[in-house]
Every structure is written in C-alpha cells, then in structure tokens.
Structure 1
C-alpha cells in the first residue's frame, strides 16, 4: 500500500539567494478526494542549532493565490521576501491551502493547523525547531494567521498584513452588502454573511481572542479600501482588552496590498523580520 504523500521522503534542497536552501512542493497533508497540499520550505544558511520557522499564508480573498507569492508588491523582488526572512535566521514554510472554490470554512483553518502539525512531526528531518513556530499572512492569509495564533497549538507569535479580522462587521466597514452572495466572505462561508452569522463569527479572529494569546504585530495601510484599517483596529482593541500583547502600525497613503505607497511593502517586510527575530530568538 502506498504511503500518504505527506509521509514521503523529502525532496532535495536547491540553492536560493543569500545561501538559503529551498525545498519546493513538499506535501504536508493528504486526504481522500483532495489534492495533496504542498508547501515550500526556505531554510536559513547553515546554523549551529535548528532555526525557528514561520508558516506563511498567502492572500487572495480565500479564492485565488498560491504559496509562491507574498503579494504583488514583491512580484519581481530578488531575493524574495521568503528568502529575506530565511536569510535572517527564520525558516519559512509557505503553504497552499484549500481555496473557497474547493471547500468552505473551516477547511482553510484545518489546512493551516495540518501544516503546523506536519512541521512539528518532521522537524528533525527538516532541521527546524518544532517548538518555535510563528504564523504570518497577508490579507485573507492574515486572517488565517491570526486564527492559527488564537486557536492553534503553541504558536509563538503572529504577523498579519491588512487582515480581515471581523467578518460579521466587514461588510459594514467596507460599505458593502452583508447579504451579497458573491462576496469573498460569502464564497468562503458558503452563504452570505448575514445568513450565517455564527459561521462568520467562527471565521473571525476577534471571536477567538483570549488573555493567553501570543504577541501580535498588525500592519495595515491607512487608506486600504478593500479591507479597511478598522478591521485591524478591531483586533487590536479586542487583544488589548484582554491584556494580550499587540502592536498595530499603519502606513499613510497605502491601499490594500501596499498599493499607492512605493515604500510600504519594504517597510512591512523589515518590520516583520524584526518582530520575528525578537519573538523567536
């Protein structure tokens, strides 16, 4: 009987920028009727001790996107954002997860949790520290990173770029119709937000805030028209009320995906690297 794809031997690493080693297309989960879910693992240059690892979750409104991109601002970046983070000493596991055309919520959360379990199970083979795992995401991936940090097992810290954090309130914040059947949130949930408020709340990081939450760094464009900055403010306020550590930083003039502010993407990546180094060292 053939072993599941996620139990297969690891592929050989290839050379990336700045001494980073990359394992491409590694299956981390497989289940009947579903394609094997894969990640790309970026390993720091040789170190004396296993490095910590951050799970990256891509954006795309839960509808599109892939593990290969940290957003359009980095499309031509050399080294890539993942190589930059790995070169700083933190391994990056950039994962694919089921999109809303494949499965509805909570499949996306299940996939993120499966990736963390896989990293811990195979940490010795991978050469990473399975006890030091962080979550980082942009847009829809920021929502997943926040959910992972608030509901997952032993996530050390979370970085979320312009995340939707309160799906129940998002239509109002964005001036949209909560009964729209074709919104990104409705496609994620399988029904309009107004028709499934309990499910929308379950997919909202603000619903899962607790006093033991890990440190959060929220980065948001002040002029984001797709996911208004109010969404990050809601999560910051909820975390602050419980005494959980949280920092929200905004960038004036930046729209969603850091559009409209040429320096915002670089600023966000620098802040991310600094935060991960501080909380994973």
Structure 2
C-alpha cells in the first residue's frame, strides 16, 4: 500500500479501531474520512478504499488528507459488528478525533463520507459531532424501523442479530429522528431503484434536514444500491472542490 499508512487506535474503551491514512503534508489542509458499507461479506473494512484507489485519488486531486476507518467486526477493528450502532459510531468518532490531532489537518475542514451501513452510522455521528465541515451519505437508511419492516428476510436477520429490535435499538440507528441536532452541510446521493434502502428514506431525511435549517442537497441517480461512478464523480468533484476551497483572508 504505497503512500498509505495503517494505524490502530483506541476506540476509547480499550477496543481497537483500524484506520488507513494518506501521507500528511507540510501544509495544513482538510481531511475526508470514508466509512465503508457491507462489502458482500468480505470484511475488508477500510482497506477497501485503499485497494480500489479511492484514498490516493481523493487525496491527490483535492490536496487533502484522506482516511478510511474499519467498522467493528471488519478489517482489524475489534468486533462484534453492531449494524451502525453505538460502538460503530464511537469508532468513527475516534477516527475523526485522531485526524483532528494530525498537525497537517485543518480540523475546521473535516468531511465525513459514509456508504450504505456506513451512511447510517455517519449520519448518527453527525448528530453528535457538530463541527464537521460537511457530510456525504450514499445509499443509507435514516429510519431503521421502517427499513427493517421493508427489508428482505436475510437483511432482517442481520439487523436482528447485530442490532436487536427494541425501540432503543432502532432509535440509535435512525438519524431521521435526530436531524435537528445536525449542523453540517449534507450531500445525499441515492439510487432511484435501490432495493436495500428505498429512495423515500433519503427524501424524508432531506426534508427533515431542510426543516432543521441544514444546507442539504439530494441527488437521485439512475441506479440501484451501488451507484454508477460516472454519475457520482462529477457531483462529488463539484461539492468537495467547493467545501475544501481555502477561505480567503481579509487584510
């Protein structure tokens, strides 16, 4: 993995969290943290963003630090997995705190980017970490109880096994009901034909964020749960170029 460093950090409770990070520079810049999805049972964790070139690509094109965290039960992060629940959220917060402490990272320009189950957890993290510069969510669900009712039997079993089915379990994974606590500009990307996370999940969450006064944009794309890169790339490029643009100082 040339140019990428692997770190093992403490979640805050003694558990290990795996984090991959591109090289730091002499200048302070922004940072983006990727939170992966389910990965089809491969359990690669943050290494996925290393192997597919995402970390180096985002870092070099945007001039920022790029990092990817492994959720509990994925990669070298201690488990068990809890389907985007409190321990996953703590792992993401620990990764963000680690990045904020890096001398080359401008902690006021930190972007969190979650995909699928990573979007579920990242949306909840944004209700607690209110100083994020921006939040990017793709293919997420924001009302877990509703998603559970409409999921396949296999996904229902995974949710029941990892998360549980109590009111608290659902609420801990449903950013829709905590949208008023989010302060970060949010970009939502969602496939019109997503059979795992229905488009109305993103539509309802976008409306809730707008009611809370959060700058939010929702892009519905011609795809399913896995979004076409050729549609996603120009949207991300425009959004991140603006978000990471240096703030002009007035003399």
TM range (shorter): 0.7 to 0.9
- CA shift at 1:186, angstroms? 2.1
Q: Which residue, out of 143, 146, 159, partners 2:123?
A: 146
In 1, the alpha carbon distance for the partners of 2:200 and 2:179 equals: 17
Name the residue aligned to 1:270: 234
Classify 1:209/1:33 alpha carbon distance in 2 versus 1 (closer, same or farther; 3 Å): closer
Structure 2 contact 114–138 (Cα < 8 Å) conserved: yes
Matching residue within 43, 47, 58 for 1:68: 47
How big is the shift at 1:211?
6.5
Q: Does 1:218 align with 2:188?
A: yes
Please give the per-residue CA displacement for 1:103-155, whole angstroms capped at 9, x wherever unaligned.
5331001111111112223x11xx22223211001101111221222221411
How far 1:175 moved relative to its partner? 5.1
Task: Tell me the secondary structure at the aligned position of residue 168 of structure 1.
Answer: helix
TM-score by length of 1: 0.75
Aligned to 1:241: 211
Which of residues 154, 168, 171 is equivalent to 1:201? 171
Shift of 1:156: 1.0
**What is the SS of the residue equivalent to 2:67?**
strand
Which residue of 2 is the match for residue 8 of structure 1? none
How far did 1:203 drift?
A: 1.3
After superposition, the C-alpha distances for 1:175-205 in whole angstroms (9 at most, x for unaligned) are: 557xx8953322331x23xxx1222112111
Unaligned stretches of 5+ residues in structure 2: 246-251
1:227 counterpart residue number: 197
CA spacing shift, 1:243–1:50, aligned 2, 3 Å: same
Mapped partners of 2:225, 2:182: distance in 1:
30
Residue in 2 aligned with 1:51? Answer: 29
Structure 2: how far apart are the matches of 1:221 and 1:268?
A: 10
Q: Could you tell me which residue of structure 1 aligns to residue 59 of structure 2?
A: 86
2:4: which partner in 1? Answer: 22
SS of aligned partner of 2:183 = coil
Q: Cα 1:91–1:270, aligned 2, differ >3 Å: closer, same or farther? A: farther
The answer on whether the counterparts of 2:134 and 2:186 sit within 8 Å (CA) in structure 1 is yes
Cα separation, 2, equivalents of 1:213 and 1:113: 16
Q: Which runs of 5+ in 1 are unaligned?
A: 1-13, 16-20, 259-263
Over the residues paired in the alignment, what is the CA RMSD in angstroms? 2.8
The reply on whether 1:136 has 2:113 as its aligned counterpart is yes
* 3-state SS, counterpart of residue 198 of structure 2: coil
Q: Distance in 2 between matches of 1:214 and 1:90?
A: 19
- Are the equivalent residues in 1 in contact too, given 2:11–2:94 (CA < 8 A)? no
- State the distance in 1 between where 2:55 and 2:234 align: 12
Match of 2:69 in 1: 95
SS at match of 1:163: coil
Q: 1:97 and 1:186, CA in 2 relative to 1: closer, same or farther beyond 3 A?
A: same
Q: Per-residue displacement from partner, 1:40-84 (whole Å, max 9, x unpaired)? A: 11247x5x63110011100008974410225xxx97x5xx22222
